Amino acid sequence: MGGLFSLQVPPANRDAPHLSSFPPASVTRYHPEPKLIHSPGMELTPRQYRALCSICDAFLPAAPGWPSAVERGVPEALAVALDYNPRVIHRWEFINLLDFWDSPFHSLCEIGTLTRFSDLSEDDKCRMLLSWADSRVAMRRAAFQALRKAVGFLYVMLPPPPGGQVSAVWRKMGYPGPIGVQRPDAPKKLQVATPDHETTLSCDVCVVGSGAGGGVAAAVLATAGKEVIVLEAGGYYDDADFDGAELQGFERLYTECGFASTRDHSVGMLAGECLGGGTVVNYTTSFRTPDDIREEWAEAGASWIRGEEYTRSLDAVCQRLCVNQNHNRVSRREQVLERGLRHLGWHVDAMPRNVIGCEQGRLCGYCGYGCSIGAKQSATKTWLSDAQSHGARFVVNTRAERIRVQRGAATGVEARTKSGHRVVVKCKSVVVACGAIHTAALLLRSELENRHIGRHLHLHPVSNISGVFDEEILPWEGTMQAIYSDQHRFLTGNFGVKYETTALQPVIAMAVMPWREPRDFRERMEQLRHTSAIGVLVRDRGEGRVTIDREGHPVTSYSLSDYDRRHMQFGFRGAAHILEAAGARRIYSPHAKLCSYEPGKLGSLETFVHDMDAAGWENAQVALFSFHIMGTARMGDTPLDSATNPHGETWEIKNLYVMDGSSFPSASGVNPMISIQAIAHRNAQVLAGRAH
């Protein structure tokens, strides 16, 4: 069994080259007949390489002032990026797709010609791509979306070649590129270690994962006098490392380099993978758990959540994170939201944020790649620092593979460093806080059998409606989220949508930008500096699931339920309404088919709504994302309907606790960080109070 579930470290995490070293100086043009492309990431045959190059250039061929995707080095970078996805089956599918793509049979099936894709005209290549985009088969649509995103992401993210100035793509978009390190001398205050040989450690409590939940658990337990070791899969980065570069930011700080998604690629999932987890990359929005959600979770079995005890933990968390509403300068991007909401007479309020001395200007928009001035009160700045002051030790770049269990109780954790060294932590209790995808995977690899583990996945599916304005907006700048609207939070009971915006760094914009043909796509990219987008975040009642593959890697499935789709539809309409009220001259949705209108000129809100319905709401017909991953090991009052008891202890294994977003009995309805921390704060106190 051990062999079956031994987690493989993706090659990119070993000694493989880093994406940010792309494009290599040598990659300047398409080489039509290479013998064997020994891509540093993955070996491709000449035929596969030719297919990949022609796909990349079909999406983004050269045009005046614009390099082609191949000239940008996208195919080589894409082969490296694949190594961030550890799942053998996904690589195998990709290779198969490339083998098939450039065959005469493929062209015959799609557009009735025997000419290979790579020899087709630009128009015919587009027709072929669109036949995938608009296919009735969800897997084909999903393959198109995966390619669109991968090519688009890398096209805008790749830095200029060594010695180059600003990338030509950034110049065309008006994007100034990274801000550069702002505090090069800022000290790294946490002491971390990564074993360089097989190692056994021991402590009272091993906390696995150092993000929102794990950080708090480590601090509370260490402060209570427990000897704590924190195991963290990612590395330690702090102010002096943060330069706002997108590619480097994703490589260092995000799970699967930001390319993680559900099994069918229909929902992109963003999560932090570094010391501090999501709290290092997140947008600092700090909502307390709303009363209606507290009541719902109490009803679901965690009755303490409705009472004083939880209020005290919320207070303690907000105090430690310095949550305040004094850093809410509204950027040009959000002036649009504010203007539209006020015009309509809709709800608008200032966002509570966990920052001290936030710049709220140009630098702030790059916060998703780490706060370069140390204003964000991430777990590294707060809880992990407290934990260290009370003796906690941090082992980084080390991934937990399974929990050790003896006579029904957790006795330790088996882990492996990125360079492959085995680490065993012997302990009296284990706190699992790997985020809702990896917590479920770790419990499943450890052979827990409770049927709720991995189920009840909530994602708060979110997407943007974009508006193009006459004025210059520079949407990559400004306070991450200064304001929000709850106008439609209660559409059906306490289910509905929130309206929030986020800084549109090129790659974030790319994530939802529809592609129908290169010219129109480039035009949208050029318009980005005049674009603002409103995020529609759905409190989902429907659920997905996390399972593991043969190697033990998590596999996530999720589809929008009909119930949630109705709310998403309503929210998209609402967001367009806001943008129209704010004076947008062109509004478009993230559908695979183009849904767009020009208020007062071409189409109307009603035709837009109609077009979106015609374009469809099935998987991969509309680009969805998740920043909030929750619920896969939920608390409850019996093992029949939950994975853990109300204190976070698993029903099956004593001394094994879950303290992260997995514990939520249902979706939090608001951005979850504060709720995760408050639950961990309370449950870690319960654990600290237990005699061993």
Ligand X SMILES: Cc1cc2nc3c(=O)[nH]c(=O)nc-3n(C[C@H](O)[C@H](O)[C@H](O)COP(=O)(O)OP(=O)(O)OC[C@H]3O[C@@H](n4cnc5c(N)ncnc54)[C@H](O)[C@@H]3O)c2cc1C
Please give the positions annotated as active site: 628
Nearest to 446 by CA among 272, 665, 652, 212: 652
**What are the Cα distances from residue 524, in Å, to 195, 507, 515, 623?**
48, 13, 9, 16
> Are the C-beta atoms of residues 639 and 633 closer than 8 Å to each other?
no
Which one-letter DSSP state was computed for residue 197?
S
Compare residues 68 and 505 and give the one whose CB is closer to ligand X. 505
Compare residues 336 and 508 and give the one whose CB is closer to ligand X. 508
Neighbours of 136 (CB within 10 A): 8
d(C-alpha 457, C-alpha 170), whole Å: 37
Looking at the DSSP bridge assignments, the partners of residue 207 are: 230, 431
Compare residues 75 and 370 and give the one whose CB is closer to ligand X. 370
CB of 263 to ligand X, least distance (A): 18
Compare residues 215 and 636 and give the one whose CB is closer to ligand X. 215
CB of 683 to ligand X, least distance (A): 12
Record the tokens describing residue 258, joined without a space: 């930001």
CB of 466 to ligand X, least distance (A): 19
CB of 425 to ligand X, least distance (A): 11
Nearest to 512 by CA among 524, 523, 530: 524
Summarize as ranges the residues that interact with ligand X (CB under 6 A).
208-214, 231-234, 270-274, 277-279, 281-285, 368, 399-400, 433-436, 438, 442, 627-628, 660-661, 671-673, 676
Compare residues 72 and 498 and give the one whose CB is closer to ligand X. 498
Nearest to 183 by CA among 321, 370, 44: 370
- Identify whether 23 is preceded by a cis peptide bond (ω within 30 of 0): yes
Compare residues 249 and 636 and give the one whose CB is closer to ligand X. 249
CB of 411 to ligand X, least distance (A): 17
d(C-alpha 336, C-alpha 209), whole Å: 38
d(C-alpha 571, C-alpha 587), whole Å: 14
Compare residues 368 and 590 and give the one whose CB is closer to ligand X. 368
- Provide the residue type at 94 as one letter: F
d(C-alpha 535, C-alpha 516), whole Å: 22
> Cα-flanking dihedrals φ and ψ of residue 97, to 5°?
-60, -45
> Are the C-beta atoms of residues 285 and 483 closer than 8 Å to each other?
no
Q: Listing from the earlier edge strand, what are the strands of the sheet with 192-193?
A: 192-193, 393-395, 228-231, 205-208, 429-432, 656-658
Please identify the residue of the shown chain whose CB is closest to the bound ligand X: 211
CB of 179 to ligand X, least distance (A): 17
Alpha helices in 60-160 (DSSP H): 74-82, 88-101, 104-111, 122-133, 138-157
Compare residues 71 and 414 and give the one whose CB is closer to ligand X. 414
Compare residues 574 and 672 and give the one whose CB is closer to ligand X. 672
CB of 268 to ligand X, least distance (A): 11
> Are the C-beta atoms of residues 517 and 126 closer than 8 Å to each other?
yes
> Are the C-beta atoms of residues 625 and 590 closer than 8 Å to each other?
no
CB of 251 to ligand X, least distance (A): 13
3 state DSSP class of 334: helix
> Are the C-beta atoms of residues 141 and 148 closer than 8 Å to each other?
no
Record the tokens describing residue 394, joined without a space: 């941090």
CB of 380 to ligand X, least distance (A): 10
